[in-house]
Amino acid sequence: MTEPLLELEGITKRFPGVTALDNVSLTVRPAEVVALIGENGAGKSTLMKILGGVHQADAGAIRIGGRQVAIRTVADAIALGIGFIHQELNVLDNLDVAGNCFLGREPLWGGPLKLINRARIFSETEKYLERLGLSVSPRTPLKELSLAQQQMVEIAKALSQNARLIIMDEPTSCLTLSETDRLLATVKELRAQGMSVIYISHRLGEVEQCADSVVVLRDGQNAGALKREEISHQNMVRLMVGRDLKDLYVSGAGAQEPDFFRVRGLRTTAYPHCEISFSAARGEILGFAGLVGAGRSEMAQALFGVDKALGGDVALGGKPLAIRSARAAIAAGIYLIPEDRRRTGLITSMTVRENITLPGLPGLASAGLISRRREDELAARQVAALHVKTPSIETRAMNLSGGNQQKVVLAKWLALQPQVLIFDEPTRGIDVGAKAEIYKLMRGLADQGVAIMMISSDMEEVMGVSDRIAVMHEGAITGFLARAEFSEEAIMHLAVGKTAAA
Partner 1 sequence: MANERGGISLAPMLAKKELGIFVLLVALCTIVALKSPAFLSSANLQNTARLIGMYGIFSIGLGIVIITGGIELSVGSAFALQGVMLAIMLREWGWHWSLAAPAVVLGSMLIGCLHGVLVAGVRMQAFIVTLCGLLFYRGVARYIANDETKGFGTESFGPLRDLATGNVGGVNGVPMPFVLLLVVAAVMWVVLHRSVYGRYLFAVGRNEDAARYSGINSRLVIASAYVVCGALAGVAGIIIAFYTNSISPAGHGNFYELYGIAAAVLGGCSLSGGEGSIIGIVIGTALLQVLQNLVNLLGIPSSLNFAVMGAVILIGVLADQLLSRRRGAAKGGVGKT
Name the residues that contact partner 1, by CB under 8 A: 15-16, 18, 20, 41, 46, 304, 306, 325-327, 329-331, 336, 338, 343-350, 354, 358-359, 361-362, 365, 368-373, 376, 399-402, 412, 431
- Backbone phi and psi for residue 472, each to the nearest 5 degrees, phi listed first: -115, 150
**C-beta of 250 vs 380, nearer to partner 1:** 380
Q: Choose among 410, 460, 434, 470: nearest CA to 285.
A: 470
CB of 415 to partner 1, least distance (A): 11
CB burial readout 104-142, b (16+ within 10 A) else e? eebeeeeeeeeeeebeebbebbbebbebbebeeebeeeb
User: Residues 483, 246: contact at Cβ < 8 Å?
Assistant: no
CB of 431 to partner 1, least distance (A): 7
**C-beta of 228 vs 372, nearer to partner 1:** 372
CB of 333 to partner 1, least distance (A): 12
Q: Choose among 358, 353, 337: nearest CA to 397.
A: 353
Label the pairing between strands 18-28 and 6-15.
antiparallel
**C-beta of 265 vs 429, nearer to partner 1:** 429
CB of 417 to partner 1, least distance (A): 13
**C-beta of 115 vs 398, nearer to partner 1:** 398
Q: Choose among 258, 252, 223: nearest CA to 238.
A: 223
**C-beta of 74 vs 237, nearer to partner 1:** 74
CB atoms under 10 Å from CB of 299, counted, come to 31
**C-beta of 402 vs 497, nearer to partner 1:** 402
CB of 366 to partner 1, least distance (A): 10
**C-beta of 160 vs 401, nearer to partner 1:** 401
CB of 55 to partner 1, least distance (A): 8
Q: Choose among 231, 201, 229, 197: nearest CA to 214.
A: 231
User: Which residue type, as a one-letter code, is found at position 159?
Assistant: L
Q: How far is CA 193 from CA 31, 84, 132, 164, 186, in A?
A: 8, 18, 11, 10, 10
CB of 451 to partner 1, least distance (A): 19
Q: Choose among 423, 451, 450, 417: nearest CA to 439.
A: 423
